[in-house]
């Protein structure tokens, strides 16, 4: 499932308030069994969003050559 930053913000707000039931903007509501489960959901969404937003860069190597000129 593709998550949004809005969903992440809703979960973070619920976690900060100690609430286990989260009502999303689209009308859905989810009840978590514990704050631990809610925290794991937040971590999973953060990981997915950061993976989606990061770009894979090719590693670079720089080679230096030098001589004394002799």
Predicted confidence at residue 58, as pLDDT, reads 63
Across the range 33-46, mean pLDDT stands at: 94
Q: How far apart are CA 7 and CA 19, in angstroms?
A: 15
Percent of the chain whose pLDDT exceeds 90: 50
Across the range 4-10, mean pLDDT stands at: 91
Q: How far apart are CA 52 and CA 8, in angstroms?
A: 14
Percent of the chain whose pLDDT exceeds 70: 87
Q: How far apart are CA 52 and CA 38, in angstroms?
A: 21
């Amino acid at each position: 499932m593709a998550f949004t930053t809005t969903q992440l913000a809703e979960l973070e707000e619920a976690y900060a308030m100690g609430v286990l039931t989260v009502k999303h903007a689209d009308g859905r509501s989810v009840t978590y069994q514990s704050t631990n489960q809610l925290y794991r959901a937040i971590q999973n969404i953060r990981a997915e969003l950061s993976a989606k937003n990061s770009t894979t860069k090719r590693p670079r190597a720089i080679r230096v050559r030098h001589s004394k000129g002799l």
